[in-house]
């Protein structure tokens, strides 16, 4: 692969992860400059290589857009960790590694002979990260988990959906993605501590824990109000107006987070009397009377379409925005200016537009993305590098 530059340049990562949470964590590390060696099962590789949607190639064959989107900037080697020859290769890679990342169920690495205690004794500077459904400890540690499971068990799904309606899964795999982000944070913290201690750490991240950590004010509301929060649609539980509103054509989001902004909003929609209405005199009162306020605001917003209102409200200093779908997002000028959608080359030709790295560094251009690897693509080069030949 072409040499990359970034804050983690020089960090060598051996990546045993598959599907989403682990690969997302190692993709973030790769985006920040780490060299990531993806170790996959022979013949089949990462499960998501066979998960759609697929890009069909004119020359025949197909590529998983799912796999491609979270495995850029990595090298691939296929190894069977139960086969002695492949174990020798793996151990040579680990001996060179700063970080080993895995997302097997707890106990699997130990059965393979690569548990934390054994690895730490042999490679004391190695940072090991384990990303699992429920973590390395606790009564659920050996249970299988997917994004849907941890969204449900954590209470996240109980908060999502229309008021009075059934629970709804968050529209992205927030259980996996949050675990991946927490994993990348933990790995970098362990690397930073190693500078002083000269010792690696075992980073233990659970998808379930990540969802609990994201509950933010729902936990506080449970304790203050004495009852479990329920779905309330798009509005905020304690800030009003802070929701989606219908206009003459299309919908917009308005987030007037304080009294001064609410007064400006009332002037901008030519309903100044709303600011002096006793029901809406404070944020607490507006939240108490949110239904009545929604009716008043949407009546005023029927005067123009969504695009016109967004322009007017932004001129007035109101936090607002259009309700985009993903197709509309693709054409958003801010997305383009921040290079948050970038073309990624495909191994068999063509490109796929993927999300760019959201971590920017002032004065630096985003690095060029390398395509997601073909299964076992870098085997020969890696074997030569570690002195094992073919």
How far is 281 from 273, CA to CA, in rounded Å?
A: 11
Topology classification of domain 242-246+251-322: formyl-coa transferase, domain 3 (3.30.1540)
How far is 340 from 330, CA to CA, in rounded Å?
A: 9
Other CB atoms within a 10 A radius of the CB of residue 118 amount to 13
Rounded to 5 degrees, what are φ and ψ at 158? -70, -15
How far is 40 from 110, CA to CA, in rounded Å?
A: 18
What does each of the 390 residues of the chain score in pLDDT, given as a tens digit?
Answer: 444 579 999 999 999 999 999 999 999 999 999 999 999 999 999 999 999 999 998 878 899 999 999 999 999 999 999 999 999 999 999 999 999 999 999 999 999 999 999 999 999 999 999 999 999 999 999 999 999 999 999 999 999 999 999 999 999 999 999 999 999 999 999 999 999 999 999 999 999 999 999 998 999 999 999 999 999 999 999 999 999 999 999 999 999 989 999 999 999 999 999 999 999 999 999 999 999 999 999 999 999 999 999 999 999 999 999 999 999 999 999 999 999 999 998 877 889 999 999 999 999 988 889 999 999 999 999 999 999 876
State the number of CA atoms in the 13 A half-sphere of 129 facing the CB: 32
What is the pLDDT at residue 280? 98
Judge whether 53 and 65 are in contact, CB under 8 Å: yes
- Long-range CB contacts (within 8 A, 24+) of 112-120: 112/81, 112/82, 113/87, 114/81, 116/202, 119/94, 120/200, 120/202
Angle at 240 between CA 237 and CA 246, to 5 degrees: 105
Topology classification of domain 12-214+336-385: Rossmann fold (3.40.50)
Centroid of chain to Cα 126: 25
- Count of all residues that appear for the chain in the document: 390
How far is 183 from 204, CA to CA, in rounded Å?
A: 8
How far is 20 from 389, CA to CA, in rounded Å?
A: 32
How far is 361 from 74, CA to CA, in rounded Å?
A: 21
Judge whether 312 and 304 are in contact, CB under 8 Å: yes
pTM of the model: 0.95
- Token output for 333: 């000028």
- Domain borders along the chain are 12-214+336-385, 242-246+251-322
Among candidate residues 26, 315, 340, 334, the one with its CA nearest the CA of residue 183: 26
Determine whether 120 is an active site residue. no
Q: From the candidates 120, 236, 304, 378, which is the catalytic residue?
A: 236
């Amino acid at each position: 692969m072409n040499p990359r530059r970034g804050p983690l340049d020089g960090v060598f990562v051996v990546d045993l992860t598959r599907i989403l949470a682990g690969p997302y964590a190692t993709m973030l590390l790769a985006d920040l400059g780490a060299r990531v060696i993806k170790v996959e099962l022979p013949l089949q590789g990462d499960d998501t290589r066979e998960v759609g949607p697929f890009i069909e190639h004119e020359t025949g064959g197909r590529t998983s857009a799912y796999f491609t989107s979270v495995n850029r900037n990595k090298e691939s080697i296929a190894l069977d960790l139960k086969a002695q020859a492949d174990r020798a290769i793996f151990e040579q890679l680990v001996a060179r590694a700063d970080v080993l990342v895995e997302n097997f169920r707890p106990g699997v690495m130990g059965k393979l002979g690569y548990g934390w205690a054994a690895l730490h004794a042999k490679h004391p500077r190695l940072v090991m990260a384990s990303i699992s459904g429920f973590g390395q400890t606790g009564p659920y540690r050996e249970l299988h988990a997917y994004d849907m499971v941890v969204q449900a068990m954590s209470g996240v799904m109980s908060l999502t959906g229309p008021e009075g309606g059934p629970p709804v899964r968050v529209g992205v795999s927030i259980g996996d993605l949050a675990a991946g982000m927490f994993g990348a944070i933990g790995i970098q913290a362990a690397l930073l501590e190693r500078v002083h201690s000269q010792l690696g750490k075992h980073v233990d991240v659970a998808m379930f824990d990540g969802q609990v950590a994201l509950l933010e004010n729902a936990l506080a509301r449970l304790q203050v109000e004495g009852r479990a929060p329920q779905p309330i649609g798009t509005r905020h539980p304690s800030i009003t107006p802070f929701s989606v509103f219908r206009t003459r054509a299309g919908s917009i989001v308005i987030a007037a987070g304080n009294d001064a902004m609410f007064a400006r909003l009332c002037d901008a929609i030519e309903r100044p009397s709303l600011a002096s209405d006793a029901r809406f005199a404070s944020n607490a009162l507006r939240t108490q009377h949110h239904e009545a306020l929604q009716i008043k605001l949407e009546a005023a917003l029927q005067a123009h379409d969504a695009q016109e209102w967004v322009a007017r409200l932004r001129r007035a200093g109101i936090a607002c925005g259009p309700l985009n779908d993903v197709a509309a997002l693709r054409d958003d000028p801010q997305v383009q200016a921040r290079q948050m959608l970038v073309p990624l080359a495909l191994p068999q030709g063509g490109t796929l537009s993927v999300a760019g790295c959201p971590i920017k560094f002032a004065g630096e251009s985003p690095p060029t993305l390398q395509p997601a690897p073909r299964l076992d693509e870098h085997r020969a080069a890696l074997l030569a590098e570690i002195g094992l030949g073919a």
